[in-house]
C-alpha cells in the first residue's frame, strides 16, 4: 500500500484524516526542507534554544531568526510544530487553503482558512 503523504504536491486536494471532521483543502505551497525554505536551519535553532532556561535569551534567538527569514508565518509554524516533537521532527510542510475547514482539537473547525501544516498530518484524495 502506498503512502499518500509522500506524493503530496502543489495543487493536490488534501484532508486531515485523523480529525473528527477531516475537511478539504488545496495545497498552494510545498516545502520539503526547513533549512532551504526559511533561509535558516530551524532544527539547529531549536536545539540551541532547548538548552536555554532564560526566556529572554530564547526570545532573542527567535527574533533574530524571524529577521533573517523570508516567510515569518512559515517559520512560526515550523517552530511551533517542532517544539514539542523533538524525537520525530517535522521537516516537510504544505501551505493549505481550506475549502471545508477540518475540526481542531476542541473546536468545531480550525480558525485559519489557510496555514502551514506538517505533511504527515495530511492525506491526498
With respect to residue 44, please indicate whether it lies within any of the assigned structural domains.
yes
pLDDT at 33: 74
In a domain, 94, yes or no: yes
- Give the total number of structural domains in the chain: 1
- Tens digit of each residue's pLDDT (9 = 90 or more) over 61-75: 778 877 777 777 887
**Euclidean distance between CA atoms 23 and 14, whole angstroms:** 8
**Alpha-carbon distance 47 to 102, whole Å?**
31
Quick check: is 70 in a domain?
yes
The Cα 2–Cα 84 span in angstroms is 28
pLDDT of residue 5 exceeding 60 = no
Is residue 104 domain-resident? yes
pLDDT tens readout for residues 36-50: 666 777 777 777 777
Nearest to 96 by CA among 118, 78, 66: 118
For residue 93, give the C-alpha cell.
Answer: 510542510
2 in any annotated domain: no
> The domain containing residue 57 runs over which residues?
13-124
Band (86; pLDDT cuts 50, 70, 90): low
Amino acid at each position: 500500500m502506498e503512502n499518500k503523504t509522500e506524493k503530496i504536491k502543489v495543487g493536490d486536494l488534501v484532508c486531515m484524516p485523523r480529525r473528527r471532521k477531516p475537511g478539504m483543502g488545496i495545497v498552494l505551497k510545498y516545502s520539503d526542507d526547513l533549512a532551504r525554505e526559511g533561509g535558516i536551519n530551524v532544527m539547529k535553532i531549536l536545539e540551541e534554544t532547548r538548552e536555554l532556561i532564560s526566556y529572554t535569551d530564547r526570545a532573542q534567538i527567535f527574533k533574530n531568526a524571524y529577521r533573517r527569514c523570508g516567510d515569518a508565518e512559515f517559520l512560526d509554524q515550523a517552530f511551533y510544530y517542532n517544539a514539542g516533537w523533538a524525537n520525530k521532527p517535522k521537516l516537510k510542510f504544505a501551505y493549505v487553503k481550506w475549502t471545508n475547514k477540518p475540526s481542531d482539537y476542541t473546536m468545531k473547525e480550525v480558525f485559519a482558512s489557510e496555514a502551514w501544516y506538517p505533511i504527515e498530518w495530511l492525506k491526498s484524495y
